[in-house]
Amino acid sequence: MNGKEKLLYDIGVVSFVVVDLGLYLDTHPTDCKAMEYYNHYNHIRKQLMKEFSEKYYPLTMDMAECSKEWKWGMAPMPWEGECG
Amino acid sequence: MWNYEKRLQFPVNIKEPNAKLAQVIISQYGGPDGEMGASMRYLSQRYSMPYREVAGVLTDIGTEELAHLEMVATIVHQLTRDLSMEEIEKSGFGQYYVDHTIGVWPQAAGGIPFNACEFQVKGDVITDLHEDMAAEQKARSTYDNILRLIKDPDVCEPIKFLRAREIVHYQRFGEALRMTQDRLNSKNFYAFNPGFDQTPNC
């Protein structure tokens, strides 16, 4: 795994935590311990998403801040895989 | 409103094409217990949900199903993208190929096109949540059946991930059903439809 793949992998891991905790909190809306976990991992996720977008390409359209070329449109599509 | 993230929920990197497997896995794209039906079911059921928390569960699970739909499409795409004409003929992929080349189109493994009749929106919270729990188990069984046909670990891992999510979603829908029943008459949960028979507050 190169640096880009590693960072994308880490984003996948931490995003999974956030999605799964989000669903748990939907049915346990007063579980403070779970909310602490959610806030912690959501913060890390935001940082990693920003880092990836600055180093490689924007993962969401609102992270695309371009001047010379529209990086959002040029970014690889997720179904391309490693050989894409 | 939705925002798109240009990444998969779980990585899919398949090196060996396999048209036979693609024809089976496509059922989880557009088949009777597939991810298209799952996402459309939950997202459509939201509007008649009388309780905000339950509508929230449907929104978030329905959204995750869209990410699963993209994963299944990616698996089918990567299993078919480097096929030779000889492999297409030999594997029995010719019938699909003639209509769609190697595009991804929502159909069941047997070739039946996706159809909204594969899910229901009954407009009754008890009925709809029972359907949702059954749907998660049916999808889990389908993934179990697919796993028995797979040897390639590149395909196994994302399918195992999808299977595990069905179990988590089943659990969350069960909790949504319990939250619903807590607000109804425990002597007769079916006495009335709280989304229709009772006037909302606003």
Residue pair B58/B49 in contact by the 8 Å Cβ criterion: yes
- The tally of domains found in chain B comes to 1
Using a CB-CB distance cutoff of 8 angstroms, which residues of chain A are in contact with residue B155?
Answer: none
What does the pLDDT look like over B140-196, one tens digit per residue? Answer: 999 999 999 999 999 999 999 999 999 999 999 999 999 999 999 888 888 888 888
Q: Is residue B43 part of a domain?
A: yes
| Nearest-CB residue to A11 (from B4, B7, B78) | B7
pLDDT of amino acid B185? 85
Interval B30-59 mean pLDDT: 98
Residue pair A55/B85 in contact by the 8 Å Cβ criterion: no
Q: Is residue B102 part of a domain?
A: yes
Closest CA in chain A for residue B74: A79
B139/A38 Cα distance (integer angstroms): 28
What does the pLDDT look like over B109-151, one tens digit per residue? Answer: 999 999 999 999 999 999 999 999 999 999 999 999 999 999 9
What angle is formed at CA B186 by the lines to CA B185 and CA B187, rounded to 5 degrees? 90
Q: Where do the structural domains in chain A lie, given as residue ranges? A: 3-78
A23/B71 Cα distance (integer angstroms): 19
Using a CB-CB distance cutoff of 8 angstroms, which residues of chain B are in contact with residue A8?
Answer: 7
- Its domain, for residue B119, covers 19-182
Average pLDDT, rounded, for chain B: 95
Residues whose CB is less than 8 angstroms from the CB of residue A72 and which lie 6 or more positions away in sequence, other chains included: A57, A58, A61, A64, A66
Average pLDDT, rounded, for chain A: 94
pLDDT of amino acid A84? 43
Complex ipTM over 0.90:
yes
Q: Is residue B146 part of a domain?
A: yes
Is B10 an 8 Å CB contact of chain A?
Answer: yes
For a pLDDT cut of 90, what percent of chain B falls above it?
91
Interface of B with A in 15-34 (CB under 8 A): 15
pLDDT of amino acid B175? 98
| Nearest-CB residue to B60 (from A23, A61, A77) | A23
A64/A66 Cα distance (integer angstroms): 6
Residue A82 has pLDDT above 80, yes or no: no
pLDDT of amino acid A1? 85
Using a CB-CB distance cutoff of 8 angstroms, which residues of chain A are in contact with residue B9?
Answer: 12, 15-16, 19
pLDDT of amino acid B17? 95
Exposed/middle/buried for B162, CB within 10 Å: 0-12, 13-18, 19+? buried
Q: Is residue B199 part of a domain?
A: no
What does the pLDDT look like over A5-44, one tens digit per residue? Answer: 999 999 999 999 999 999 999 999 999 999 999 999 999 9
Select from B6, B165, B183 the residue whose CB has the most chain A CBs within 10 Å, as the one to mutate to test that interface: B6
What angle is formed at CA B30 by the lines to CA B141 and CA B157, rounded to 5 degrees? 50
pLDDT of amino acid B202? 59
pLDDT of amino acid B200? 55
Residue with tokens 């002597």: B187
Q: B74 and A79 in contact by Cβ < 8 A?
A: yes
CATH number of the domain within which B36 lies: 1.20.1260.10
Q: Is residue B10 part of a domain?
A: no
Using a CB-CB distance cutoff of 8 angstroms, which residues of chain A are in contact with residue B70?
Answer: 78-79
Structure tokens at A47: 């940082």
Q: Is residue B196 part of a domain?
A: no
